[in-house]
Amino acid sequence: MKVFTAKQIAEIDRCTLSSENITEYTLVKRVAKALSVWFKENISVNKRKIYLFAGSGNNGNDVIAMAANLGSRGFDCYLYVLNRDKSSSLRNELLEELYIYGSVYIKSIKSSLDIPSIEQNSIVIDGIFGTGLNRKVDGIHCDLINTINRSNSFVISIDVPSGLFSDKLNEDGTPVIVNADNTLTLEFPKLCMFYKENYCYIGKWFVVSVGLDLGIISRLSTPYKMIVADTIKPLLRVRDKYSHKGTYGHAFLIAGSFGMAGSAVLAARSALRSGVGLLTVHVPQKLYDVVQISVNEAICTLDASDYIISSCFGSGVYGSKETIGSYCDLDKYSAIAIGPGIGKAPDTVNAFKELLKYYDSPMVIDADAINILSSHKEMLKYVPEYSILTPHPKEFKRMVGDYINTEEAIQKQVDFSKENKVIVVLKGANTSISTPDGMLYFNSTGNPGMATAGSGDVLCGVLLGLLAQGYSPEASAIIGVYLHSLSGDIAADKLGQESLIAGDIIDNLGSAFLNVYKK
């Protein structure tokens, strides 16, 4: 699903009017109907008063038309219109319709004295400002927004909470913005919805389809997209009846150090659950029993060291020190991942350097491997193009330097991907994926229960499993991030967010795949 700027949204509206040869009135009524249907299906009124606030722009028109729909169903609606422009024929036509409904009460707000005292436990529908706002809120609008926020009512904002910029972060340290419980964004999400700083204003948001022109939406280019099930399904492949394990690749996972065997186990298990045909795990000698017992399906090669990764070239299936070098042909593997739990010992750093100089296909670089790159930035030039790097925010800051907010973080993310020709998966509530061509994808799945030890190791394994099966690095990242988080959602539905652990994500990967295939 594409994410457009405010300027592009205005263009899409104009093209919809032109391509369908309809008036603004018809489009407004269409929008209002879609919003009213959502309201009726999702909000329990229970005799609560409904206050609607209509600004002077398109959002205000949508709210006025919505009041007509709600009034026709017998809801008591108190509509307050700001700075009514009597010269607007569209606005006058929408308002005149309301007088046939005895349950819609209309008042104008011309000064702060006209702002109503909102009864507690009411429903407020906010249509004061829309996506076109690009200046700080002041005056009467500031007073109204503050009144709404103090009302202790359930607030629904149309498109974006009033006072919030749709394309960028508000620069004011304490901006005046409606604190919505729900935001009904029209046709597609807005960029501001992916900034963690805006969560307190937006609440839970929903995309409401209003039938904008699909032709212009498909033609209009944007570097921003949101990953949904419809994004994933066309990318997934159906397995051939006559395929075999060799068809689905041989993955090589370099993971673990003494005390961090769990990282290797979690990444290995998730790689296998992601559909890879064969998996070899390379670990220090002391981790052999743990890995072989925990992941029966995996092949295990052992490092020459008992406790750390000191070489990425294996020492034989059974770890005999006499057979070091017999499994050093990395070219036989379909894909490689390195990082979970490996630590940053000097020998491990050297082992990673060896790997980068030898192996030139895209790989998955996670956890401590990222921290090694951050400490040895000269190694970045050896990272194969289109490799997938999976930092969490602190790891990312070590790589690119400090940043002050989400807007700056994603710009640094895009710049880093373009400069180094790699894919960056910046993990978080709305995990973002940047690509060398400047695209930025935001994930739509996941929940706070996934903020638990080992969750990142599981993602590393999923990405490795997909990459080894022959999915492109970009497709592997998009599919892997979505399915990993969807698995977490399925697990949270069963167990609750508090009780969710990384292994639960692995256990529900199969359900996540089925969920997408059945869409």
How much is the average pLDDT of 323-334? 66
The pLDDT of residue 323 = 38
Residue 312 belongs to some domain of the structure = no
**Do 131 and 269 fall within a single domain?**
no
Does 204 lie in the same domain as 270?
no
Question: What are the pLDDT digits (tens) for 408-423?
Answer: 999 999 999 999 999 9
- What is the reported pLDDT for 443? 98
Contact 274, 487 (CB under 8 A): no
- What confidence tens digit (pLDDT) does each residue in 137-155 have? 999 999 999 999 999 999 9
Q: Is residue 313 one of the residues assigned to a domain?
A: no
Tell whether 192 and 266 lie within a shared domain.
no
Q: Does residue 174 share a domain with residue 114?
A: yes
Which of 161, 193, 222 is the endpoint of a domain? 222
Instruction: Give domain status of residue 98, yes or no.
Output: yes
Q: Taking the CB of residue 7, how many other CB atoms lie within 10 A of it?
A: 10
pLDDT band at 87 (very low <50, low <70, confident <90, very high): low
pLDDT tens string 368-404: 999 999 999 999 999 999 999 999 999 999 999 999 9
**Pair (344, 488) in one structural domain:** yes
Q: Would you say residue 83 lies in a domain?
A: yes
Indicate if 269 and 193 belong to the same structural domain.
no
CATH of the domain at 443: 3.40.1190.20
244 assigned to some structural domain: no
114 part of a folded domain: yes
Q: Dig out the tokens for 169 from the structure.
A: 């972060």
Query: In the predicted model, what is the mean pLDDT of residues 259-284?
Result: 98
Number of folded domains that form the chain? 2
Residue 375 domain boundaries? 261-275+331-517
268 & 193 share domain: no
Q: What's the pLDDT tens digit per position in 191-232?
A: 999 999 999 999 999 999 999 999 999 999 999 999 999 999
What pLDDT, on a 0 to 100 scale, did the predictor assign at position 100? Answer: 79
Q: Residue 351's pLDDT is what?
A: 95
Domain CATH for 41? 3.40.50.10260
Q: What is the pLDDT of residues 454-464, one digit of tens each?
A: 999 999 999 99
Say what the pLDDT of residue 103 is.
85
- Using pLDDT thresholds of 50, 70 and 90, give the confidence band for residue 42: very high
DSSP per position, 226-276: EE-HHHHTTTSPPPPTT--GGGG-EEEEE---TT-HHHHHHHHHHHHHTT-
Instruction: Of 507, 465, 470, give the one whose Cα is nearest residue 337.
Output: 465
Decide: 299 and 279 in contact? Cβ < 8 Å.
yes
